[in-house]
Amino acid sequence: MKSIEWVDGKVRLIDQTKLPEELVYLEISDHLELCEAIKKLKVRGAPAIGIAGAFGVVLGLNKMNDKIFNINNYINKVIDDLRSTRPTARNLFWALDRMYKKICSLSGESMGKVKKESLKEALDIYMEDEEMSRKIGENGVELLKDECSILTHCNTGFLVTAGIGTALGIVYTAVEKGKKVRVYADETRPLLQGARLTAWELEMKGIDVTLICDNTAAFLMKKGMVDCVIVGADRIASNGDTANKVGTYNLAVLAEKHNIPFYVAAPHSTFDFSLKNGDEIPIEERNPEEVYMGFGKRRAPDNINVFNPAFDVTPNNLITAFVTEEKIFYPPYGNWGGLKNY
Amino acid sequence: MKSIEWVDGKVRLIDQTKLPEELVYLEISDHLELCEAIKKLKVRGAPAIGIAGAFGVVLGLNKMNDKIFNINNYINKVIDDLRSTRPTARNLFWALDRMYKKICSLSGESMGKVKKESLKEALDIYMEDEEMSRKIGENGVELLKDECSILTHCNTGFLVTAGIGTALGIVYTAVEKGKKVRVYADETRPLLQGARLTAWELEMKGIDVTLICDNTAAFLMKKGMVDCVIVGADRIASNGDTANKVGTYNLAVLAEKHNIPFYVAAPHSTFDFSLKNGDEIPIEERNPEEVYMGFGKRRAPDNINVFNPAFDVTPNNLITAFVTEEKIFYPPYGNWGGLKNY
């Protein structure tokens, strides 16, 4: 089962907002429709957003025709449309920059060749992503004991990559290698990616999963029920400060208090070496509705304020290690070895 | 507006499960019906459960008639029914014990007198509770700066006492005295007492309230947006370890990390001097449904485990002070002065 794919000139993706009730595939042939799908979290998760961005550029190119007066302007517009969907996840900008560079390198070539080579680039991004998540899984396994309980937040499995996932990719690999893993899944308010998506993925794969409310993680840790925390990331600054789904920083503080290792799993495309630290990461604020009526029924009075940041930033000193496709990085962070060479 | 009252031989209470959509009053004349109302959280909050328990005993007594063979057994049964509704909040057991002692002290008196004196005892509990919350408010005000932002969890206002509340009672008193208070209300999963009840109370009283998801508190604290945390309590052990709505311990850890004072507001009826520490406090586990379909729609797959403890225990060393009707207690905790004399 693939969360996102290129099929017959279209982007085919699982509508993640419909899970777990319904498994609905969308086929999208217009880049603006894809922008809407990204904004509405039909496709979500940093690596998957990156892949969607790359495919979106190809959709835009495929709509080009002789009536378009200024090709450069058109391509810039397509990329800007995609770029403005969501501000935090680095992978989107990384993929769009890579597509843009590719297209620039084809300057002077025929439109047919530009389209063909751009599709190839997007498919490369896709296949590299699949390979990256496989390697993250392989690299991360050594962090887990043969029997262990993992706490995770949001969703980081096959729904968010072309492969097996980032944080959950480590879980899948560990189980494949015969380790006995129990997962506690934060439900992850407001949009319940943990309850709807992580629990769904793990249950489907036959992995022992227990759903908790986000505010219950501290209780579990105090009782000694959690061996480690593993989360994904949306953007990682040069110094290792990490933006991820809101609530991640909360878990990192709790993990520190209870002497529990706190791991971040992410591919190189999540790293933003242009940023010195986490203060520079833009944090998306989303619609208050997600909080006060995320379930089809208003559950708070009218006229109150709601604060709904989608992400928070965990400072590097709370992160025990980063699991990447290259290797595991331990503190002090800053020299990211092979990752910088991509 | 009273959350719970004795009116014409019945218990009249606001059905808290219907808020904020509807303001529905229930009139209950049967103690078993009241037990159901307590179990289903139609009436909730430690002090209010205590009051409900006391009134419940009176409802039971009022149903007594000549056909009851063994009066002692009957009264014990009524009290046991009420006692078995919820295990954590101390105030329930405190109120039931007080009612039982009163009834025992009337041994040999006419049934009419027993009923009359028991009602008087329950109304005393009610009026003392009102007075206690007033005093907690008065005592707590000195902890707040003239302009401050308070983070709170669950609901601790007039819905949970005969008066103005415990933690929110301090907010109400501060505002009355002209302080400028902004409140951040944790929505408080799974049952959203913060979103549904705290936001409703504060909005009705014209107090600046901002709703957040529970997992967003850490973000606010890191940004310096929270001056102090104030919560209520369900049971406090002799050493100050405090059981309160799940997520409270989480906040206490976060407050410690960010050097933010963490206050607990509670009357003497919440203290359980028979318990050495928090390990001895029984923690209620509630129905998994509250987590996976608390909003009328299933939001997690079938067949997964859910862990749904209703409370957690915050160790005494994370609590900056207790605000009681007697005075503010600071560490080291253990000598509770006047509180022990009730």
Whether residue B312 contacts residue B247, with contact meaning beta carbons closer than 8 Å, is answered with yes
Nearest CB partner across the interface for B215, out of A211, A247, A305 = A247
Based on the domain organization, do A303 and A165 belong to the same domain? yes
- Is A294 near chain B, with CB under 8 Å? yes
**Single residue among B94, B111, B134 that ends a domain in this structure:** B134
**Single residue among B92, B118, B134 that ends a domain in this structure:** B134
Based on the domain organization, do A130 and A180 belong to the same domain? no
Closest Cα in chain B to A17:
B299
Whether residue B191 contacts residue B290, with contact meaning beta carbons closer than 8 Å, is answered with yes
Based on the domain organization, do B218 and B321 belong to the same domain? yes
Quote the pLDDT of residue A327: 97
Cα gap B165→B207, rounded to integer Å = 15
Domain count of the fold of chain A? 2
Least trusted range by pLDDT, from A103-112, A183-192, B52-61, B83-92: A103-112
Nearest to A254 by CA among B310, B13, B221, B172: B221
Q: Is B146 helix (H, G, I), strand (E, B) or coil?
A: coil
Rounded to the nearest angstrom, the minimum Cα separation between A187 and chain B is 9
Altogether, the residues listed in chain A come to a count of 342
Based on the domain organization, do A180 and A316 belong to the same domain? yes
Q: What is the mean pLDDT of residues B252-264?
A: 98
Q: Which residues of B touch A203 (CB under 8 A)?
A: 301, 303-304
Each of the 342 residues of chain A gets a pLDDT tens digit; together they read 899 999 999 999 999 999 999 999 999 999 999 999 999 999 999 999 999 999 999 999 999 887 777 888 999 999 999 999 999 999 999 999 999 999 999 988 988 999 999 999 999 999 999 999 999 999 999 999 999 999 999 999 999 999 999 999 999 999 999 999 999 999 999 999 999 999 999 999 999 999 999 999 999 999 999 999 999 999 999 999 999 999 999 999 999 999 999 999 999 999 999 999 999 999 999 999 999 985 667 888 888 899 999 999 999 999 999 999 999 999 999 999 889 877
Quote the pLDDT of residue B295: 62
**What's the distance, CA A185 to chain centroid?**
16
CA distances for A335 relative to A19, A276, A338, angstroms: 39, 13, 9
Helical ranges in chain B per DSSP H: 31-39, 46-62, 71-83, 90-105, 111-140, 167-176, 193, 199-204, 217-222, 248-257, 289-292
Q: What is the mean pLDDT of residues B162-180?
A: 98
Based on the domain organization, do B305 and B212 belong to the same domain? yes
Closest Cα in chain A to B244:
A219
Q: Which residues contact A320 (CB under 8 A, 6 or more apart)?
A: A228, A261, A262, A263, A330
Based on the domain organization, do B204 and B234 belong to the same domain? yes
Q: What is the mean pLDDT of residues B217-238?
A: 98
Residue B207 lies in a domain: yes
Nearest to B129 by CA among B162, B154, B152, B82: B162
Residue B342 lies in a domain: no
pLDDT band at B65 (very low <50, low <70, confident <90, very high): confident
Task: Return the CATH number at B318.
Answer: 3.40.50.10470
Quote the pLDDT of residue A234: 98
**What's the distance, CA A165 to chain centroid?**
9
Residue B336 lies in a domain: no
Q: What is the pLDDT of residues B112-143, one digit of tens each?
A: 999 999 999 999 999 999 999 999 999 999 99
Nearest to B281 by CA among B324, B248, B313, B321: B313
Quote the pLDDT of residue A294: 59
Based on the domain organization, do A180 and A248 belong to the same domain? yes
Residue B34 lies in a domain: yes
B241: which 2 tokens? 């370890």
Q: Which residues of B touch A214 (CB under 8 A)?
A: 189, 213-215
CA distances for B336 relative to B97, B273, B318, angstroms: 21, 9, 18
Cα gap B314→B279, rounded to integer Å = 10
Amino acid at A35: C
Q: Which residues contact A237 (CB under 8 A, 6 or more apart)?
A: A272, A275, A276, A277, A278, A280, A281
Q: Which residues of B touch A246 (CB under 8 A)?
A: 213, 215-216, 219
CA distances for B182 relative to A134, B174, B213, B222, angstroms: 48, 11, 17, 17
- What b/e sequence results for B40-52 when a residue is b if at least 16 CB atoms lie within 10 Å of its CB, and e otherwise? ebbbbbbbbbbbb
Least trusted range by pLDDT, from A64-73, A219-228, B3-12, B98-107: A64-73
Quote the pLDDT of residue A65: 80
Closest Cα in chain A to B210:
A305
Residue B339 lies in a domain: no
Q: Is B272 helix (H, G, I), strand (E, B) or coil?
A: strand
Residue A106 lies in a domain: yes
Q: Containing domain of residue A201, as a range? A: 136-329
Q: How many CB atoms lie within 10 A of CB B130?
A: 17
Based on the domain organization, do B140 and B13 belong to the same domain? no
Q: How many CB atoms lie within 10 A of CB B283?
A: 17
Rg (alpha carbons) of chain B, rounded to whole number: 20
Task: Return the CATH number at A77.
Answer: 1.20.120.420
Cis peptide before A267 (omega within 30 of 0): no
Nearest CB partner across the interface for A199, out of B214, B217, B300 = B300
Cis peptide before A190 (omega within 30 of 0): yes
Cis peptide before A288 (omega within 30 of 0): no
Whether residue B122 contacts residue B57, with contact meaning beta carbons closer than 8 Å, is answered with yes
Based on the domain organization, do A144 and A78 belong to the same domain? no
Residue B337 lies in a domain: no
Q: What is the pLDDT of residues B231-250, one digit of tens each?
A: 999 999 999 999 999 999 99
Quote the pLDDT of residue A253: 98
Rg (alpha carbons) of chain A, rounded to whole number: 20
Q: How many CB atoms lie within 10 A of CB A26?
A: 17
Is a pLDDT exceeding 80 seen at residue B23?
A: yes
Based on the domain organization, do B34 and B102 belong to the same domain? yes
pLDDT band at B294 (very low <50, low <70, confident <90, very high): low
Is a pLDDT exceeding 70 seen at residue B43?
A: yes
Nearest to A26 by CA among A2, A62, A51, A61: A2
Cα gap B248→B278, rounded to integer Å = 14
Nearest CB partner across the interface for B211, out of A216, A247, A305 = A305
Reply yes or no on whether A234 is catalytic.
yes
Q: Do B300 and A192 touch (CB under 8 A)?
A: yes
- Is B295 near chain A, with CB under 8 Å? yes
Q: Which residues contact B17 (CB under 8 A, 6 or more apart)?
A: B40, B41, B42
Nearest CB partner across the interface for B306, out of A210, A257, A288 = A210
Chain B neighbours among A 188-227 (CB < 8 Å)? 188-190, 192, 195-196, 199-200, 202-204, 208-220, 222
Mean pLDDT for chain B overall = 96
Q: What are the φ and ψ backbone dihedral angles of A262, each rounded to 5 degrees?
A: -125, 110
Q: Where are the beta strands (DSSP E) in B198-297?
A: 208-212, 228-231, 235-237, 242-245, 262-265, 271-272
Q: Which residues of B touch A192 (CB under 8 A)?
A: 299-300
Based on the domain organization, do B121 and B226 belong to the same domain? no
Nearest to A323 by CA among A257, A249, A240: A240
- Is B101 near chain A, with CB under 8 Å? no
Based on the domain organization, do A161 and A293 belong to the same domain? yes
Bridge partners of residue B181, in order along the sequence: B148
Quote the pLDDT of residue A75: 95
**Single residue among A134, A166, A201 that ends a domain in this structure:** A134
- Is B30 near chain A, with CB under 8 Å? no
Residue A300 lies in a domain: yes
Q: Which residues contact B44 (CB under 8 A, 6 or more apart)?
A: B16, B38, B155, B159, B160, B193
